[in-house]
Structure 1
Amino acid sequence: MKTTDDMTGTAPATDADARRNGGQDLKTLTAVEQRVLWLATSVIDHANRVRPNPSGLKVGGHQASSASMTSIMTALWFHELGRDDRVSVKPHASPVLHAVNYLLGELDESYLTTLRSYGGLQSYPSREKDPDPVDYSTGSVGIGATAPIWGAIARRYVNGRFGGGSSGRQYSLLGDAELDEGACWEAVLDPAVTDLGEIVWIVDFNRQSLDRVVPNISATRLQGMFDAAGWQVITVKYGRLLEELFARPDGDALRARIDEMTNPEYQRLLRCSAEQLRERLPGSGPGQKAIAQLLAGLDDDSVVNLLRNLGGHDLGALIDAYSRIDDTRPTVVFAYTVKGHGLPTAGHPQNHSALLTGEQMQELAARVGADADAPWARFQPGSAEAELCERTAAKLRRQDAPPQQPPALPADFGRTPSGKGSTQQALGRALLDLTRQAPEAAGHVVTVCPDVASTTNLGGWLNKVGTWSATQRRDWFDDDAETILHWREQPAGQHIELGIAETNLVGLLGELGATWSRWGTPLLPIGVVYDPFVGRALEPWSFGMYAGGQSILVGTPSGVSLAPEGGAHQSVITPSIGLEQPGCTAYEPAFALDLEWCLLAGLANLGKAGGSSTYLRLSTRPVDQALAAVPDDSAARERRRRQSVAGGYLLRRHENPSLTIAAAGVMVTEALTAADRLEGLGVGADVVCVTSPDLLFRAVQARQGLQDGPDWILDQTFPRERARPLVTVLDGHPHTLAFLAGINEVPARALGVTGFGQSGNLADVHRHHGIDADGIVAAALDLAD
């Protein structure tokens, strides 16, 4: 057996290796791998040991997690990737990504000393904040791993409808512990994923989590789960040195021993000396004697290194695995690795956040051919390594398409709804109106649902535009006269139906909302979900906005006004979520026309630099549209529209008010009823229709100089000369509107829902929570007294 040339367990490359791998010079590639390891480790070292830290707070970084991925990423970038491929890098390996980008000339040297500093390299890969190319923002476990799946669908959608999108694979690099996240399996199992042959997940299978060696993690079980989902499964378990040992006499006994070994025992052996390994590795099974004899023929260095020679650190084995990806179905590659490979902390159960000492950094530099006094040195010009970096950079450099301007959108369809109707019904009508009045803009709309299209009033839109599918599929019910909802699945469809998983819905929304920055084609994505499940979808949707995805999320039906459906389907905290979520404007319109105006305003903010997302909280409760009292005069109507889109308007003005009632959403009906009853009691009340607590709060912050933005809406909705005691009411948590009392510093009562709901008719449920007209009247009288 050949000995290794350092402690990493990586065999020296030979000419035979080069021929086996299509002429790729593995010796050169190994030198690049070692430099990547050094740079990634040094970036973290500088942030923690060298850079001044006046606060004394931990800076952090993950040298062991980065080392675990170095071979995988070196083989991928410097051998496999093409220009159109995209890669999502596991969060704790961000220093490896920056090291690779630095060697490719995509990152200035000045940034290597800025990891986790203000304005520097981010803690985890960020499309929006990092100075070098990042394909997918990661950091929230499970979300970055699944993002390339939704990116693949978004790209196919753009290509099918508009053309001009790129091709190429969509890679996810993730740790094995990340597979604990349910988001991963929700994505793997979604029916829309089965045909995405461009999806490749590479699992860094080091069998360690943050705290410990995971005792019962089973590659066999995980491989079976992917296989059952229709994925191609490739396993890279052992490196060339171990495979050569297995081929020797008695090698089968050694393979069986390692295969059957528990994870903790294997990890403990990584920390053993040669003498200890000769004693412990043979075990006590039937192969004990054969393994001992095999080890007796090896020198001490080879004994120590053999267990470290796993497939995830063997460049030749990795390149071979990448070559076997068949592109006809999603693929997962299980690459067995050692956490901290190549570092003194390799395999230690508590190495997750461990940092090398200064002495250990000096030793690492000497071993990998780096200079500790000049840590950021690139390869010598003209060297084989420098030429490999130059060729790779030229191969991967992209010419991003210039972003197109999103299509023009009307601000008002000019129609005034009448009769009774809900805001949920109005959503479906507004989308159909868009196809008639602004067909180009409607052509850029794509709706997404987790199996709730019909119950959220998208049926008419779906029948009009069809359902998206990568291939044309026959609608077997197209000749059934009793079938109302038609699933015409075709590449030109504009509705994407997913399985029942809100995480998948918003993951796809984020990627559909990022196509303007990826391929220059703006989409106007709208996702519809039951409002109680906005909380379930919040983290990935929020992360999608952080990564630059702009979309509209519709939560409907909402609140306890759902009534007989039951307490489990009643949302309480979502108005507060809308107020607090960065990068998003939240609306809760009361009337159909308000919904139309706010929807059009939200669509106009999508698909462009500086754009933002929108959350619409809608209801199934029918409301008399005449209560909106929409002005007939065109100028007055436009004034009402501007106020509605800005956060609210004075719906009813009393000649001599004693108080103000501010209501959001469907509770405006109760507010108006209460105002009528108070009038009979000699208590006059103004009624304010709040369409966006979010925008009103921003206006308050702007007035106080705490953020930039307009505050004119406060003067028109809560004018100081009409400041009176205030009752606020909404079908949600009362603190959402409680801040309104501070606009003019008036006494206030905040009504809303503070407990779990239950089934019941609307009157009973509203009475139970104290948000019916009786509750408003009582609160108003308390203030009036």
Structure 2
Amino acid sequence: MSTAADPSYAPPSPAGEPLTEIGERVLWLSTAIIDAANRRGDPSGLKVGGHQASSASMVTIMTALWFEHLRAEDRVSVKPHASPVLHAINYLLGELDESYLPTLRAFGGLQSYPSRTKDPDPVDYSTGSVGIGATAPIWGALARRYVSARFDQDPAGDAGRPGRQYSLVGDAELDEGAVWEAILDPMVGELGEVVWIVDLNRQSLDRVVPNIGTPRIEGMFRAAGWQVLTVKYGRLLQELFARPGGDALRARIDGMPNPEYQRLLRCDAAEVRTRLPDVGPGSGGAGLAELVEGLDDATLLAAVRNLGGHDLTALREAFDEIDDSRPTVILAYTVKGHGLATAGHPQNHGSILNADQMATLADAVGADPDDPWRRFPADSAAGRLCAETARRLHREEPAPTPVPALPTDIGRTPSGRATTQAALGRALLDLTREAPDAAARVVTLCPDVSSSTNLGGWVNKVGVWSTAERKDWFDDDPETILHWRERPTGQHLELGIAEGNLVGALGELGATWSRWGEPVLPIGVLYDPFVERALEPWSFGMYAGGQSILVGTPSGVSLAPEGGAHQSVTTPSVGLERPGCVSYEPAFAIDVEWTLLASLARLGRPDGTSAYLRLSTRPVDQSLAAIPADPAARERRRRQVVAGAYPLRRAAGGSPDLTIAAMGPLLTEALTAADRLAEQGHAVDVVCVTSPGLLFDAVQARAGRPARAQAEPWILESAFPARRAAPLITLLDGHPHTLAFLAGINQVPATHLGVSRFGQSGDLASVYAHHGLDADAVVGAAADLL
């Protein structure tokens, strides 16, 4: 069978086989979904878009995978531009209502790229951000292994192996560095359930890739310990290779540059007969010419594009060869736009078939443009296969195990000098004693910075997670402080120095409550200067439903001797600007405990949110926190800390002359400046801000504008009561814009102090003076305001 939409189109298997019919219907439906979206148009005149060619290259692969090989316990990450193929398959399986098919990229309709939380049909992994969706199943496999080991879940299905985690990846996506960071992590080589299928269509958005370098890619995967399977040619070409002149034909195609091959796809039979038997060296000369001349036009055109990624038999053989003892990559050669009139065109990435081309395609695959969404009759062979597949892949939604109760206050009152960074490790250890069931759900992750971020005590207590128990050769060394005990019951994961990997795993661990019904409470700890590297994949994990805590430490210029290379300026506003996330910058150890417990309590639930904690290595006198001794007053302080701010010092008498709102370790400078101003006769209020994001949400909520569910408008009157409105100085170890909005709470004049330029190494006093963060700077700003 061939189609005038693509004269050289060959079906993926013999005509009449149910899977062939299904594949052709998936091709039609995925193409029609995009066509309907663009005929619908956008009143604003914006292009609706869609990717018919990128979808078409994946049709055979996804049809074979879903209708023959997937099991209910498997999960698949679908490359972003093939989302219409996923929706078409879900529709044929009864998982998507027909009313959604014309709604691609419409508000409330099918999303532009697969979305686990926003699409109406089953989506295993959200994709769309290059490299992140591709690597997500790696971290999904890791999370599945962790849940199975920690909570005695049996990950094996009917075949006695864990559900496979598939990634359907476009070859251009392999340019993304995050892909190779993930592949090279040592833990990944142990995840035999990971299977990648690369859609090797050798085209990017703008062009035919001159040299895809497949042997180099194969070598890189093999060097990382992966099984590499290459599916290059279909059964027609393999048959031709066995004929006289076949060796020359194979050598000619193998040696052909990608652009030359792609040009053949746009040729008629006469042009192919001229171009293919090139008379140059290595062309095979007369033998190849004789083979080509012996083929009829239809066979010749079909042979040119008879690649393995469009051949069911070749794909079946590859799927059967998967070795579950190590990760596998299948490099499947395909044609971008296979089966469409745009097949192989170098600018087909965003092209849309016209009405005549759609009609021709419909005629070729047995579809009806007037009834585009018609399903197979239930009693047909294809209809029965759809029903059987739907039954095989049906999943019962897991009933989530509730997170054990977490305390809101462990009850300690820190004393002496301490850092907020050290307080994190202390709070985690306290949790193991005060709430062991909840602590058992906590898992920490680090990119090789466990000891330098004060997690050593926690790691010694809970152990390091590993797929198998490993001997600690330093266990009997009396000078070893950090004990690296690796076992399947450990609660700490150590990854290599790649922030994307860290937050990728963090996101998938944060989604186990919805995937498998077992919530874990993941906390990722990394150096704050590198948080911004991690923001995109972490944000994408939150978009996909992952709930986690990210801890950045040490932060700001307060790490003084480290200098400008390790300063973090913009991170204080991360929570202010990050959907699905609440941020905290605690000033004191008790603030760390309270905000950490509140953040943990928001994880592992349908209405949950992630959190970002920005911590410091600066030792601070804990008596400055002035924690109330009265239990009711202490609880009021705790609620204020969690809601975003609390009054640390109120000037005696009536309204103050000045308010200083400070955050994190700079509360010390704020209090020192307040004392000096008081000596000059000025009444000063000092407010400790713990979460600028929550305060901004409170401002929005008070004004009746959209805000996060955690917004607490009462905190504004508690921390910044109108009756005490006064000129305002804001102070933080970060960019001053973070707290600038506070002046608008009571419409007061304000000066905003912070860091807005690269720093340098030095002692703390010198660095603070350099950036205008010290008490002198605060007093000087007060003089200007007063």
Aligned-residue offset at 1:402: 0.6
Q: 2:751 matched to 1:749?
A: yes
Same amino acid, percent of matched pairs: 71
Q: 2:619 matched to 1:619?
A: no
Structure 1 residues 8, 714: CA separation in 2 closer, same or farther (over 3 Å shift)? farther
Deviation per residue, 1:655-680 (Å, 9 max, x gap): 25210000000011100011111112
CA–CA distance in structure 2, aligned partners of residues 367 and 689 of structure 1: 70
Map residues 31-50 of structure 1 onto 2, 5 A cutoff: 31-49=21-39
Map residues 10-49 of structure 1 onto 2, 5 A cutoff: 10=10, 13=13, 27-49=17-39
Q: Partner residue of 2:223?
A: 228
Q: 2:87 matched to 1:73?
A: no
Q: 2:255 matched to 1:241?
A: no
Q: 2:479 matched to 1:489?
A: no
CA–CA distance in structure 1, aligned partners of residues 546 and 759 of structure 2: 34
CA–CA distance in structure 2, aligned partners of residues 192 and 673 of structure 1: 49
CA–CA distance in structure 2, aligned partners of residues 208 and 610 of structure 1: 41
Map residues 598-613 of structure 1 onto 2, 5 A cutoff: 598-613=595-610
Q: Which moved more, 1:398-407 or 1:666-675?
A: 398-407
Q: Which amino acid aligns with 1:98?
A: H
What SS is found at the alignment partner of 2:17?
helix
Deviation per residue, 1:27-82 (Å, 9 max, x gap): 21111000000000000000002x25322211111000000100000000001101
Aligned-residue offset at 1:465: 0.3
Map residues 479-518 of structure 1 onto 2, 5 A cutoff: 479-518=476-515
Q: Partner residue of 2:106?
A: 117
CA–CA distance in structure 1, aligned partners of residues 717 and 774 of structure 2: 28
Which residue, 52, 64, 68 being the options, matches 2:53? 64
User: Is the 8 Å Cα contact of residues 4 and 11 (structure 1) preserved in structure 2?
Assistant: no
CA–CA distance in structure 1, aligned partners of residues 297 and 7 of structure 2: 12
Deviation per residue, 1:293-314 (Å, 9 max, x gap): 1110011122222111000000
Q: Which amino acid aligns with 2:683?
A: G
Output the TM-score relative to the length of structure 2: 0.97
Q: 2:573 matched to 1:568?
A: no
Deviation per residue, 1:244-296 (Å, 9 max, x gap): 11111111111111111111111111111111111111122241322211110
User: Is the 8 Å Cα contact of residues 164 and 519 (structure 1) preserved in structure 2?
Assistant: no
User: Is the 8 Å Cα contact of residues 88 and 173 (structure 1) preserved in structure 2?
Assistant: yes
Q: Which amino acid aligns with 2:36?
A: H
Map residues 98-109 of structure 1 onto 2, 5 A cutoff: 98-109=87-98
What SS is found at the alignment partner of 1:686?
strand
CA–CA distance in structure 1, aligned partners of residues 65 and 80 of structure 2: 17
CA–CA distance in structure 2, aligned partners of residues 668 and 3 of structure 1: 75
What SS is found at the alignment partner of 2:318?
helix
Aligned-residue offset at 1:436: 0.3
Q: Partner residue of 2:205?
A: 210
Map residues 108-187 of structure 1 onto 2, 5 A cutoff: 108-164=97-153, 166=155, 167-187=162-182
Q: Partner residue of 1:269?
A: 264
User: Is the 8 Å Cα contact of residues 10 and 314 (structure 1) preserved in structure 2?
Assistant: no
CA–CA distance in structure 2, aligned partners of residues 341 and 192 of structure 1: 37
Q: Which amino acid aligns with 1:37?
A: L
Q: Partner residue of 1:767?
A: 769
Aligned-residue offset at 1:163: 2.5
Q: Provide structure 2 residue ranges, at least 5 long, that are not aligned to the other structure.
A: 156-161
Aligned-residue offset at 1:26: 7.8
What SS is found at the alignment partner of 2:368?
coil
Aligned-residue offset at 1:401: 1.6
CA–CA distance in structure 1, aligned partners of residues 3 and 608 of structure 2: 54
Aligned-residue offset at 1:10: 2.5
Which residue, 427, 432, 436 being the options, matches 2:429? 432
Q: Which amino acid aligns with 1:604?
A: A
Q: Partner residue of 1:18?
A: none
CA–CA distance in structure 2, aligned partners of residues 85 and 297 of structure 1: 46
Q: Partner residue of 2:691?
A: 692
What SS is found at the alignment partner of 2:497?
coil
CA–CA distance in structure 2, aligned partners of residues 117 and 73 of structure 1: 24
Q: 2:728 matched to 1:732?
A: no
Q: Partner residue of 2:341?
A: 344
Aligned-residue offset at 1:165: 5.6
Structural RMSD (CA): 1.3
Q: Which amino acid aligns with 2:734?
A: G
Map residues 357-396 of structure 1 onto 2, 5 A cutoff: 357-396=354-393
User: Is the 8 Å Cα contact of residues 155 and 165 (structure 1) preserved in structure 2?
Assistant: no
CA–CA distance in structure 2, aligned partners of residues 613 and 762 of structure 1: 32
What SS is found at the alignment partner of 1:487?
coil
What SS is found at the alignment partner of 1:347?
coil
Aligned-residue offset at 1:757: 1.5
Q: Partner residue of 1:669?
A: 668
Q: Partner residue of 1:702?
A: 701
Structure 1 residues 733, 12: CA separation in 2 closer, same or farther (over 3 Å shift)? closer
What SS is found at the alignment partner of 1:244?
helix
User: Is the 8 Å Cα contact of residues 602 and 608 (structure 2) preserved in structure 1?
Assistant: yes
Aligned-residue offset at 1:3: 8.9
Structure 1 residues 123, 3: CA separation in 2 closer, same or farther (over 3 Å shift)? closer
Output the TM-score relative to the length of structure 1: 0.97
User: Is the 8 Å Cα contact of residues 53 and 349 (structure 2) preserved in structure 1?
Assistant: yes
CA–CA distance in structure 1, aligned partners of residues 669 and 287 of structure 2: 84
User: Is the 8 Å Cα contact of residues 558 and 619 (structure 1) preserved in structure 2?
Assistant: yes
What SS is found at the alignment partner of 2:329?
strand
Structure 1 residues 26, 584: CA separation in 2 closer, same or farther (over 3 Å shift)? farther
Deviation per residue, 1:479-521 (Å, 9 max, x gap): 1111111111000000000111000000000000000000111
Which residue, 66, 69, 77 being the options, matches 1:88? 77
User: Is the 8 Å Cα contact of residues 3 and 364 (structure 2) preserved in structure 1?
Assistant: no
Aligned-residue offset at 1:103: 0.4
Aligned-residue offset at 1:704: 1.1
CA–CA distance in structure 1, aligned partners of residues 36 and 198 of structure 2: 28
Q: Which amino acid aligns with 1:10?
A: A
What SS is found at the alignment partner of 1:370?
coil
User: Is the 8 Å Cα contact of residues 146 and 172 (structure 1) preserved in structure 2?
Assistant: yes
Count of equivalent residues: 772
Q: Partner residue of 1:631?
A: 628
Structure 1 residues 405, 717: CA separation in 2 closer, same or farther (over 3 Å shift)? same
Q: Which amino acid aligns with 2:170?
A: G
Q: 2:551 matched to 1:554?
A: yes
User: Is the 8 Å Cα contact of residues 158 and 165 (structure 1) preserved in structure 2?
Assistant: no
Which residue, 696, 718, 728 being the options, matches 2:720? 718
Q: Partner residue of 1:681?
A: 680
User: Is the 8 Å Cα contact of residues 139 and 505 (structure 2) preserved in structure 1?
Assistant: yes
What SS is found at the alignment partner of 1:194?
helix
CA–CA distance in structure 2, aligned partners of residues 11 and 64 of structure 1: 16
Q: Which amino acid aligns with 1:732?
A: G
Q: Provide structure 1 residue ranges, at least 5 long, that are not aligned to the other structure.
A: 15-24
User: Is the 8 Å Cα contact of residues 13 and 311 (structure 2) preserved in structure 1?
Assistant: no
CA–CA distance in structure 2, aligned partners of residues 136 and 469 of structure 1: 24
Structure 1 residues 563, 10: CA separation in 2 closer, same or farther (over 3 Å shift)? same
Q: Which amino acid aligns with 2:215?
A: T
What SS is found at the alignment partner of 2:401?
coil
CA–CA distance in structure 2, aligned partners of residues 758 and 30 of structure 1: 66
Aligned-residue offset at 1:430: 0.2
Q: Which amino acid aligns with 2:720?
A: F
User: Is the 8 Å Cα contact of residues 4 and 305 (structure 1) preserved in structure 2?
Assistant: no
Aligned-residue offset at 1:216: 2.1
CA–CA distance in structure 2, aligned partners of residues 757 and 157 of structure 1: 41
